[in-house]
């Protein structure tokens, strides 16, 4: 009723942007967009910040463009604002730079006016309160915000309206102004963090155990412990990279039918938490790595540098991206050899490169096939278009069959004869692998492949059965 009265009396309604109108932050969004294009711009940002936060925002805004359509909006609030606009003046009042805020206001189409940072004044906290009092008068406007910094504004407002997850902020706001309405937003919670960290993708790191199995040292407890620790280190490091990748890839993720639901793209986790978590995970991963071996630390560092380069730039380069993906999988095997202090197997590394190159091709093939069905031509943030589908299919299938050839050559090598009492049994792995690769590509060709073929390989019932059969064959050959 109080809000209705305010609307009838024509009291202006002032609305915050970051975390309120949108479930994101334009400063962080724009900074990440700039870093994705020019990673070394981080040093320029530090210089701009020395001249004030408003200057930093203006300089970043001059260099990037954000798509206002793709941002994660608070639709409940927008619907309510649309009703309020018929009764009173609605103002977008934000600390974001006016260059970025204006397109957002235009897209939302619920505002009569925009007040924002202008490169000189950072319109936040006390500065925002001063500007609103000068514009409308003391206690002559209502204000909607979402953060403790907004308490400085509510202190001078006619009424406070709060966007929050719990009730802590509204209780604090009630001490300085009447709280007339609350908009509850859902917290991402543990499930959102598990999704952001891609905990399920840790299954890929089981590759660090392959050298342990291939060298028949699974009964040596010290080496098993080292491999387990290496697995954890790779998981922590990989999760750090996944967070970084998601933060740098927000625009293209929001255009993807599945990736747009990732926590940072959807706004279910605060953007500021992403870089912090990424740094902490990286420190933990490398901290534990020193307990494995110095050589393992070197391999892990190489993996991190390569996967970061992939996230920032290499994934946009046609064909190089899939080669890098195959190399990253193979690096996990190298890390496994470093962890247990054994020499890398030429056969295992060659097999790994070809099989994972094939699976990387399956991934790109599946993505392009989905685009083709939607009538789109080019993959967002990638170097491919739908005309490349036949080429990728040909190269990917060939790479998979080359992996079978490497396996066949290994069976008849001195290396297998020194490790197995009955190496000829291993020949039976070749038809199994031929069937699995052919079936994988057939499923991809039909358009029913999971967008991550490694996850498919783990979850697919037929693949699981073939894996058990392969394990029996290897055990019989020992």
pLDDT digits (tens, 9 = 90+) for 151-177: 999 999 999 999 998 889 999 999 999
Cα angle for residues 395, 398, 403 (degrees, 5° grid): 125
- In angstroms, how far apart are the furthest CA atoms of the chain? 91
Gap between the Cα atoms of 470 and 478, Å rounded? 13
pLDDT number for residue 234: 92
Of the listed ranges 132-136, 143-147, 314-318, 356-360, the one predicted with least confidence: 314-318
Gap between the Cα atoms of 304 and 237, Å rounded? 7
| Interval 269-283 mean pLDDT | 93
Contact 392, 448 (CB under 8 A): no
DSSP codes of every residue in 159-180: EEEEEESSSHHHHHHHTTS-EE
pLDDT number for residue 185: 86
Question: Domain 2-185 is classified in which CATH homologous superfamily?
Answer: HAD superfamily/HAD-like (3.40.50.1000)
Q: Where are the domains of the chain?
A: 2-185, 190-477
pLDDT number for residue 439: 94
Count CA within 13 A, CB hemisphere, residue 273. Answer: 14
What phi and psi, each to the nearest 5 degrees, are found at residue 65? -130, 130
SS3 187: coil
Task: State which H helix or E strand residue 353 sits in.
Answer: helix 346-373
Name the residue among 214, 236, 215, 18 with its Cα closest to residue 128.
Answer: 18
Q: What is the dihedral of CA 221, 225, 230, 236, to 10 degrees?
A: 160
End-to-end CA distance of the chain: 80
DSSP code at position 385: B
Greater confidence (382 vs 322) lies with 322
Sign of CA dihedral 173, 175, 181, 184: positive
Q: What is the dihedral of CA 405, 408, 414, 419, to 10 degrees?
A: 120
pLDDT digits (tens, 9 = 90+) for 381-427: 677 888 889 999 999 999 999 999 999 999 888 888 888 888 889 99
Domain 190-477 CATH assignment equals 1.10.3470: no
Gap between the Cα atoms of 247 and 451, Å rounded? 20
Listed in sequence order, the residues at least 6 apart from 307 whose beta carbon sits closer than 8 Å to its beta carbon are 238, 241, 328
Q: What is the dihedral of CA 467, 472, 476, 478, to 10 degrees?
A: 50
Name the residue among 324, 198, 307 with its Cα closest to residue 262.
Answer: 198
What phi and psi, each to the nearest 5 degrees, are found at residue 312? -80, -40
pLDDT digits (tens, 9 = 90+) for 417-466: 888 888 889 999 999 999 999 999 999 999 888 777 888 888 889 999 99
pLDDT digits (tens, 9 = 90+) for 218-243: 888 888 999 999 999 999 999 998 99
Greater confidence (17 vs 314) lies with 17
Listed in sequence order, the residues at least 6 apart from 360 whose beta carbon sits closer than 8 Å to its beta carbon are 321, 322, 323, 325, 326, 396
């Amino acid at each position: 009723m109080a809000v209705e009265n305010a609307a009838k009396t024509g009291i202006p309604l002032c609305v915050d942007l970051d975390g309120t109108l949108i479930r994101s932050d334009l400063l962080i969004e724009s900074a990440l967009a700039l870093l994705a294009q020019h990673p070394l711009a981080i040093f320029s940002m530090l210089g701009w910040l020395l001249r004030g936060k408003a200057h930093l925002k203006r300089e970043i805004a001059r260099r990037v463009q954000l798509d206002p359509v793709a941002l994660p909006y608070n639709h409940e609030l927008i619907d309510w604002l649309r009703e309020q606009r018929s009764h009173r003046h609605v103002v977008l009042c934000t600390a974001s730079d006016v260059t970025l805020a204006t397109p957002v206001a235009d897209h939302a189409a619920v505002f009569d006016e925009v007040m924002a940072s202008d490169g000189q004044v950072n319109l936040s906290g006390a500065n925002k309160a001063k500007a609103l009092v000068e514009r409308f008068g003391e206690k002559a406007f209502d204000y909607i915000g979402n953060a403790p910094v907004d308490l400085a504004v509510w202190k001078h407002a006619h009424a406070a309206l709060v966007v929050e997850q719990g009730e802590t902020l509204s209780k604090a706001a009630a001490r300085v102004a009447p709280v007339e309405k609350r908009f509850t937003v859902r917290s991402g919670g543990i499930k959102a963090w598990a999704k952001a960290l891609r905990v399920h993708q840790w299954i890929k790191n089981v590759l660090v155990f392959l050298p342990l199995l291939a060298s028949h040292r699974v009964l040596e407890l010290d080496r098993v412990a080292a491999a387990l620790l290496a697995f954890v280190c790779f998981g922590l490091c990989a999760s750090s990279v996944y967070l970084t990748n998601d933060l740098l890839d927000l625009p293209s993720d929001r255009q993807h039918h599945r990736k747009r639901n990732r926590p940072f793209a959807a706004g279910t986790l605060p953007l500021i938490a992403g870089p912090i978590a990424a740094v902490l995970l990286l420190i933990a991963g490398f901290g534990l790595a020193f307990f494995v071996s110095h050589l393992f630390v070197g391999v892990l560092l190489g993996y991190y540098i390569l996967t970061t380069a992939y996230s920032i730039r290499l994934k946009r380069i046609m064909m190089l991206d899939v080669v890098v993906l195959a190399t990253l999988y193979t690096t996990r095997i190298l890390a496994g050899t470093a962890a247990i202090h054994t020499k890398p197997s030429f056969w295992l590394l060659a097999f790994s490169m070809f099989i994972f190159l094939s699976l990387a091709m399956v991934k790109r093939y599946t993505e392009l096939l989905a685009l083709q069905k939607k009538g789109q031509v080019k993959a967002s943030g990638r170097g491919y278009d739908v005309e490349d589908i036949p080429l990728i299919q040909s190269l990917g299938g060939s790479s998979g069959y080359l992996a079978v050839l490497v396996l066949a050559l290994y069976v008849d090598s001195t290396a297998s004869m020194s490790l197995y009492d009955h190496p000829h049994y291993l020949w039976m792995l070749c038809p199994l692998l031929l069937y699995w690769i052919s079936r994988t590509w057939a499923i991809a060709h039909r358009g029913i492949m999971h967008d991550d073929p490694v996850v498919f390989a783990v979850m697919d019932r037929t693949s699981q059965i073939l894996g058990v059969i392969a394990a029996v064959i290897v055990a019989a050959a020992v």
